[in-house]
Amino acid sequence: MEIPIINKKSFISKKWILDHRGPKNPVDFHLPYAWSVEKERTRSGAVEDTGTIFLTNKECPYQCLMCDLWKNTTDGPVPPGVIPAQIEYALERMPLVNHLKLYNSGSFFDGGAIPRKDYPRIAAILKDFETVIVESHTSFIDERVLAFRDMLHTELQIAIGLETVHPEILPLLNKRMSTDDFQKAVSFLAQNGISSRAFILHQLPFISAGEGFVWTKKTIDFAFDSGVECCIIIPTRLGNGAMEALQHQGRFQLPSIPSLESVLEYGIALKKGRVFADLWDLEIFSDCTQCFAIRKNRMEQMNFKQEILSPVSCDCQA
Ligand code: SF4
Ligand SMILES: [Zn+2]
């Protein structure tokens, strides 16, 4: 079914996005709001435990259309010293890992989120990790990254939300980032010996499932052509109020699990770098209890092996 892109500019605005929000969750800036350990295929090809610490800090200034990360943020900046303490708190409670992601619901290099004076202590805490991955909007990717890298003495990778290269929809996401900005940021990082990974949305609002499939593939192509080392395909979710409103208006439909499998297959077949499907909360996309677990397991194994495995056959696809 085609979903008409009608009058989209007339209603998508920062105010419209904010007006659809519910309340934030209560958070304590002395504590990370979550941490986890999951297996991930590393650049060397081994599948190893990788920790993620979800830091509690000030809300991201961008307020993208599809983002729900604001839910676990503070309204104002956190004091210096708090972020290193959050990292130590989580590490004391997590199993030992060699690879660590620090995700702060925004940009690590946004001084309003992570005080720059905390970099030396954070770098000292992280010195024994093999890989450290942090996320950032392109607008914060400059000499701040190099300053942190120079203190870190471990491999640093930057995760950047590219989301899509659809020329009409990228501006509607309120990301205030162009594909040129993305290319420049990735090449700046590469010139300085820092690798990058792209977050890519699978199934945008305003377009049909068929077009969504095409644009995810185009976005993977663009990310690798720009020089990223890894692409993470994220099925677009509900959860922030604005996406529910678009769904209610018939302007957004959740992606199907078979379509996620197909774009994962496409990305892996390129053999240009690691490609992962984000499987968090995957059951919300399922409409078949018979094949869900098999499809989830297939994608998990494809994430690990970076090979296309035998397709799942089920009556739901007949
Ligand atoms: S830049 Fe990232 S963290 Fe900030 S609002 Fe957009 S998607 Fe969310
Ligand atoms: Zn099925």
Atom 8 (ligand 1) nearest CA: 67
In tens, the pLDDT along 164-186 reads 999 999 999 999 999 999 999 99
pLDDT at 3: 45
Domain membership of residue 313 (yes or no) is no
Domain membership of residue 312 (yes or no) is no
Domain membership of residue 4 (yes or no) is no
Distance between Cα 106 and ligand 1 center (Å): 6
* Type of residue found at 79: P
Order of strands across the sheet with 34-41? 34-41, 47-54, 99-103, 131-135, 155-163, 195-202, 230-235, 274-277
Domain membership of residue 1 (yes or no) is no
Domain membership of residue 209 (yes or no) is yes
Say if ligand 1 is within 6 A of residue 62 CB.
yes
Q: If pLDDT is split at 50, 70 and 90, which confidence band does 223 have? A: very high
Domain membership of residue 167 (yes or no) is yes
Q: If pLDDT is split at 50, 70 and 90, which confidence band does 6 have? A: very low
Q: If pLDDT is split at 50, 70 and 90, which confidence band does 317 have? A: confident
Domain membership of residue 314 (yes or no) is no
Atom 2 (ligand 1) nearest CA: 106
Domain that holds residue 87: 9-307
Ligand 1: nearest atom to the Cα of 177: 1
Domain membership of residue 38 (yes or no) is yes
Q: Are 196 and 224 in contact (CB under 8 A)?
A: no
In tens, the pLDDT along 225-253 reads 999 999 999 999 999 999 999 999 999 99
Ligand 1: nearest atom to the Cα of 67: 8
10 pLDDT higher than 70? no
Domain count, the chain: 1
Ligand 1: nearest atom to the Cα of 105: 3
Rounded to an integer, what distance in angstroms lies between the CA atom of residue 31 and that of residue 119?
18
CATH number at 182 reads: 3.20.20.70
Dihedral (Cα; 189, 164, 115, 84), 10-degree rounding:
-90
- Residue identified by tokens 């060397």 is 44
Ion ligand 2 residues within 5 Å by Cβ: 288, 290-291, 314, 316
